[in-house]
Structure 1
Amino acid sequence: DAMIKTEKWEHKTYELTCISPIHIGNGELLKQYEYIFTKDRNQQRVYFLDKAKWMTFLVRHNLIDDYAQSVFSGRMNLYGWLQSQRIGSLSAIIREVCNASADVYLVRERQQRVNDISRQVKTPDGIPYIPGSTLKGAIRSAILFHDIRQHPEAYLPFWNRIKAAMEARNRRQMRDLAQNIERQAFTRLKQQKNRPDDALQSVMKGLAVSDAMLVGHERDTVILQKYDVSSIRREGLKGHPLALFRECIPAGRKFRFSMTLDKDIARLIGITSLDDVWQWVRDYLAFGLAQERGVFGHEYKGEFEESKLADIRLGGGTGFLSKTVYYALAPKGEGRTVLANFFDDVLFTRRNCHHHKTKDDRLTPRTLKLAWADNDRWILGLAAVKEVASC
């Protein structure tokens, strides 16, 4: 047993299994002229360009000007453009200029094309992984949620200020309040020489989380269409396939990572062990899923049944403070109304964009993020985590 058996430190290794596809973006958004999309009766596939090889190819065939002109002309499809150049077989070109590929699953078979693709974070040699910062961010939200639930009286003053900021539609004040709430939860260590520094004083210093690296050799990814289901009063549930595609880690992939806890620091926020941390993470996920199940559970029974296996939800933007944390802050009954106003008037100001106020029954925001591949359907971003013996 390689566990560090000291009073102060606890160290464990974990295996994470993707219950549903997971997308952790690397910040790169590919346009249609930056990848090759092929489609036949049985398979749709995207081939990713190796930028250096692609430039070499364009220079060798004297195509840089033509390519640039086509890009600036508007909606350019690289597959069609390459075919029109008549410079050899497409499969030979793909072998020469591409360094990775992924199967594509469209929600609607009618849709013939792929739009922008958000890339998955990978190692320099192209292997998908889950950054430790992503795991730690999800854990951090769970700890914040738990602290608010345990000490509501400490956070109650924030709620009235949040309500006022929401009613005044003051986004900057909302962000400042969100930072203050986090400071209240995490800033437990003494200041160094009277220099306030949130990172140095944060109890999160007491938790180290490694990157989660792939177990096994299947490094393939899949391209899934963003699909949100909305709950609309009187109209039931409506699904929207959106014109954004995400490169995802497929369901079933396994990853290994480790965590180290400084128990002296963690104790300041009521954590005595890594098992405590994971219990809080599970409670946080269960609360969020229960909110969603109340609205979507009847229609998506199987997906919610499968979600019971999950310990954590990863990826997918949830804003600067997640709705689950806001729910924990709000006194019972007040949360929905105030949050509905806020999401309508402040976050979604485009006309006809969301209409939470008039249409939401029980949940704000009112969307469930799903992933589809062939006949499979999941709640996006769910993973199970179990302790394993460190090697």
Structure 2
Amino acid sequence: MKRYREFEFKLRTLAPVFIGSGETYKQREYIYENDAYYFPNFVTLYRKLSSNQRQQEAFENYLMSSRIQEKNMRLGEFLRKINFTDRDLGGYSIKATGVEVENNGDPDRLNEIAKFIKDPQGRPYIPGTSLKGAIRTILINTRFKGVEKIPWGGSDDIFHDIRVSDSEPLKLSSLVITKKWDYNTRKDGPNPLPLTRECLKPYTKVVFTITTVGDEAAEIISGLSKAADEFYKRYEERFLKDLDLKYRQSGYNHPIYLGGGSGLWTKANYDRINIEQIRSRTPRKMKMTGNGVFKLTKAKRQSYRLKIKGVIEERELVGKNGGAADTKDGIGFYEMGKCCFTIKEKK
């Protein structure tokens, strides 16, 4: 009988991480007030509005209206218009940090906000399938590099014997709202895109349990740290070396890229991907040049403490060796989805 073994996998986000639920908050579904984005519980909101027939009817008309003027009216603006001031409406809020808009834009004029996945209690978490996919990418580029037939997808699927739990639930205060930035090294600096997301903050700790069945699966997971370092070195040589150091973060302990927006090369099988074939099938306006663009995002600069030979040093997550891509208002650029991890067997 195969032996079961359990490992504790501790992930630390080094940059904003986005795991989408597939849903978005529309402009009529959140309120920007007092330097925060508030996402009320609409059942509670409607119940409270129902105590006033005039306000209830106005709210129903507001939601159903197809008139441009009302369609463009934000929820907070509408509630102020009907003199509804109650904000004890359940839900949650995310503090604005200044990265949601650019060039002194109006923070109350965001596009839709993509939702981070949450459990039935409304708490953010990372599904085990997301982490397992990132681990799989590492393994196909290291342990199974060049293997013609990788042993998964059939009766001998090694991944059947590697079982990754969903993460422990996280606090809503772990979330931050960020924008997507693309950086083409052939152009001047990163370019903001009209895509806004709920993400985990840099330096959030996320805990998983990995259960292995049998000796081979346990061996693979025991060696995962080394495999992650090997994959990161390959990623650096293939892609990351072209990123200006002021936008680049250090590797830290065993890097791993997770979630949406981290870019093609963090998820690819390097031995099988054919860039020329991708280019030939891509519409002219969307053609990839070189190895593509870097996926960045902005967040507050985050420092942490590290003990080296008994001496505590303070370092920053932003930029190579603490270098800064952008120091305005304590904000910096991060590589989207970058994390690190430690793993140890449970006793």
Post-superposition shift, 1:8?
3.2
Identity %: 22
TM-score normalised over the length of structure 1: 0.69
Which residue in 1 is equivalent to 2:45?
Answer: 54
Residues 297 and 304, structure 1, Cα contact 8 Å, conserved in 2: no
Residues 94 and 173, structure 2, Cα contact 8 Å, conserved in 1: no
Q: Which has the higher helix share?
A: 1
Is 1:346 equivalent to 2:242 in the alignment?
no
Residues 162 and 212, structure 2, Cα contact 8 Å, conserved in 1: yes
Is 1:110 equivalent to 2:110 in the alignment?
no
Post-superposition shift, 1:367?
2.4
C-alpha spacing 1:19/1:315, structure 2 compared with 1 (3 Å): same
Post-superposition shift, 1:389?
7.0
After TM superposition, list the pairs within 5 Å mapping 1:153-172 onto structure 2.
154=148
Does the residue aligned with 2:184 lie in a helix, a strand or coil?
strand
Question: Which AA in structure 2 matches 1:282?
Answer: D
Does the residue aligned with 2:45 lie in a helix, a strand or coil?
helix
Residues 112 and 196, structure 2, Cα contact 8 Å, conserved in 1: yes
C-alpha spacing 1:229/1:140, structure 2 compared with 1 (3 Å): same
> Distance in 1 between the 2:202 and 2:74 partners?
30
Is 1:365 equivalent to 2:292 in the alignment?
yes
Is 1:211 equivalent to 2:166 in the alignment?
yes
> Distance in 1 between the 2:243 and 2:93 partners?
34
Question: Which AA in structure 2 matches 1:277?
Answer: L
Post-superposition shift, 1:345?
4.3
Residues 37 and 94, structure 2, Cα contact 8 Å, conserved in 1: yes
1:383 maps to which of 335, 339, 346: 339
Residues 128 and 219, structure 1, Cα contact 8 Å, conserved in 2: no
> Distance in 2 between the 1:95 and 1:33 partners?
17
Post-superposition shift, 1:256?
1.8
After TM superposition, list the pairs within 5 Å mapping 1:22-33 onto structure 2.
22-33=17-28
Post-superposition shift, 1:304?
2.4
Does the residue aligned with 1:106 lie in a helix, a strand or coil?
coil
After TM superposition, list the pairs within 5 Å mapping 1:200-349 onto structure 2.
200-214=155-169, 219-232=173-186, 235=187, 237-264=188-215, 266=217, 272-300=219-247, 303-305=248-250, 307-317=251-261, 325-329=268-272, 339=275, 341-347=276-282, 349=283
C-alpha spacing 1:95/1:380, structure 2 compared with 1 (3 Å): same
> Distance in 2 between the 1:212 and 1:133 partners?
10
Question: Which AA in structure 2 matches 1:102?
Answer: I
Post-superposition shift, 1:376?
3.0
> Distance in 1 between the 2:285 and 2:146 partners?
38
Question: Which AA in structure 2 matches 1:311?
Answer: P
> Distance in 2 between the 1:387 and 1:298 partners?
29
Question: Which AA in structure 1 matches 2:219?
Answer: T
For the aligned residues, what is the CA RMSD? 3.0
Deviations 1:82-118 (A, max 9, x none): 222223x2xx2x222x411112332514221211111
Post-superposition shift, 1:342?
4.0
Does the residue aligned with 2:185 lie in a helix, a strand or coil?
strand
Deviations 1:171-206 (A, max 9, x none): xxxxxxxxxxxxx3133xxxxxxxxxx365422101
C-alpha spacing 1:211/1:10, structure 2 compared with 1 (3 Å): same
Residues 107 and 241, structure 1, Cα contact 8 Å, conserved in 2: no
How many residues align structurally?
308
1:35 maps to which of 30, 37, 42: 30
C-alpha spacing 1:37/1:344, structure 2 compared with 1 (3 Å): farther
| Unmatched segments (≥5 aa) in structure 2 | 301-329
| Unmatched segments (≥5 aa) in structure 1 | 1-5, 155-183, 188-197, 331-337
> Distance in 2 between the 1:310 and 1:32 partners?
39
Post-superposition shift, 1:59?
3.7
Deviations 1:102-147 (A, max 9, x none): 1233251422121111111122223221111111111112222225
2:15 maps to which of 20, 26, 32: 20
2:82 maps to which of 55, 80, 85: 85
> Distance in 2 between the 1:255 and 1:328 partners?
31
Post-superposition shift, 1:311?
2.5
> Distance in 2 between the 1:201 and 1:389 partners?
24
Which residue in 2 is equivalent to 1:160?
Answer: none
Which residue in 2 is equivalent to 1:146?
Answer: 142
> Distance in 2 between the 1:64 and 1:140 partners?
48
C-alpha spacing 1:318/1:226, structure 2 compared with 1 (3 Å): closer
Question: Which AA in structure 2 matches 1:294?
Answer: K
After TM superposition, list the pairs within 5 Å mapping 1:124-203 onto structure 2.
124-147=120-143, 149-151=145-147, 154=148, 184-187=149-152, 198=153, 200-203=155-158
> Distance in 2 between the 1:316 and 1:204 partners?
22
> Distance in 1 between the 2:111 and 2:127 partners?
26
Residues 18 and 254, structure 1, Cα contact 8 Å, conserved in 2: yes
